[in-house]
Amino acid sequence: MSPRDLAQDLPPELAPSPVPRRVPATWLLTLLMGLGPFSMQILIPSLPLLAGIFAVPYASAQMTLTVYLVGIALGQLIYGPLSDRFGRRPVLLLGLAVYVLGSLAAFLAPTIGWLALARAAQAAGGCAGMVLTRAIVRDVFPRDQAASKIGFVMMGMTVAPMLAPLLGAELTALFGWRSTMLACTLFGLSLFILALRLPETLAVPQPLPGLTGMAQAYLQLARIRSFRCYAAITTCTTGVFFAFMAGAPKVLMDGLGHTPRSYALAFMAISFAFGAGSFIAGRYSARLGLARMLKIGLVVSTAGAVLGVAGQALLPLSLLVFYLPMTVVALGNGVSQPNAVTAAVSVKPQLAGTASGLVGALQMGFGAVMTLVTGALETGSGVPTAATMAGCAIGAQIALRQVGRAQQQRN
């Protein structure tokens, strides 16, 4: 059900205005969705180099990734409620402005600490596109159709994080790491100009007075068991991905002796797999139903994570042994995540923006924790990374079982 579906159940004075005839362009939503992941990935191949340039341990350089995730998590907690109150478009433009300023600060950063803070601001601004794209799609389309649409948007979004590491590696090799942050600044400015074309899709603004109102909206969602379960699924499957991202540079460069370019090229296979899964979600979610597609995606993801543990424990470390399981996981995540996110934001459609922000914050917050865990445990063997990924995948399966129990109790 969407706000449009609820219109007939509301009294006339509260009935939402008609959905705008100008549906936002899919290509623009795709670019907005990809801004945060693109900016996160573009600097990862340079982490070992940053440690040398700023004369700090690798763990300190890796904090630029962890802090970025924290910035995304905190930013999403704010954008969702604000967009439910003031509209999607103005809040999106505010976020893009923050992103541009953060990117410029990162470009000028004189120390690793300055860079980390600038990356937090960059993330807090860039995540507006991630939150509000999901909310905009949910504003316009009914539940199962929204899952399909989000699947297509996420399929296109994979192009950004797929190309970002390679672009980052090449820009760093040619012009130094600061050129990556300059590229982000220019990208953000371009998106700000394009976003001026977006129509407003919020049908009924929700009164949300201050921080107290935000807290009440989050508590309202947290009390709903099905929302907690769907949010846990998206959080755990995201944890699998960030555990891999935190461990991969160390495994490839320290354990196997590969270059940043090798990391970027190998990562493209993972992006392709996620894109394929998102295409499957976009093609079949409306036909087969959200619940069935979610189960299929989680089975594939868990199989990939278990394969990773077995491969790292039993076979000699190699690029194929390390990357192939994550490729399987990415395929499953591409199928499951659009459906899990859609289910979460559909639990209470009038708070779709708030729900989207909360889910995104939980994803990134948990992802930040997984980067710290993997970074502390990984020695270059790949085993700690694979074990952390498997633990997250099992958590998603447990959450899925809880969804079934919640539905049985409701019936």
Q: What are phi and psi of 201, to 5 degrees?
A: -110, -10
Continuous segment of H or E residues that includes residue 408: helix 383-410
Judged by DSSP in three states, 201 sits in: coil
pLDDT at 4: 40
pLDDT at 339: 86
Sign of the dihedral defined by the CA atoms of residues 47, 173, 160, 298, in that order: negative
pTM value? Answer: 0.73
pLDDT at 118: 95
Are the CB atoms for 151 and 279 separated by under 8 Å?
yes
pLDDT at 39: 92
pLDDT at 133: 83
pLDDT at 10: 39
pLDDT (tens place) for every residue of the chain, 411 residues total? 334 434 434 343 334 444 444 667 778 888 888 898 889 889 988 887 888 899 888 778 878 888 998 888 888 778 877 888 888 889 999 999 999 999 999 999 999 999 999 999 999 999 888 878 877 877 777 666 666 666 667 655 666 777 888 899 899 989 999 999 999 999 999 999 999 988 887 777 766 556 677 778 788 888 888 899 999 999 999 899 889 988 888 788 777 888 878 888 888 888 888 888 888 887 887 788 888 889 999 999 999 999 999 998 899 988 889 989 999 999 999 898 888 888 888 888 777 777 877 887 788 889 888 988 887 788 888 899 999 999 999 999 999 988 766 665 554
Sequence-separated (6 or more) residues with CB below 8 Å from residue 277: 297, 300, 330, 331, 332, 333, 334, 335, 336
**Rounded to an integer, what distance in angstroms lies between the CA atom of residue 131 and that of residue 77?**
9
pLDDT at 356: 76
**Rounded to an integer, what distance in angstroms lies between the CA atom of residue 112 and that of residue 287?**
49
pLDDT at 410: 59
pLDDT at 3: 40
Are the CB atoms for 185 and 59 separated by under 8 Å?
no
Domains detected in the chain: 26-205 (1.20.1250.20), 216-409 (1.20.1250.20)
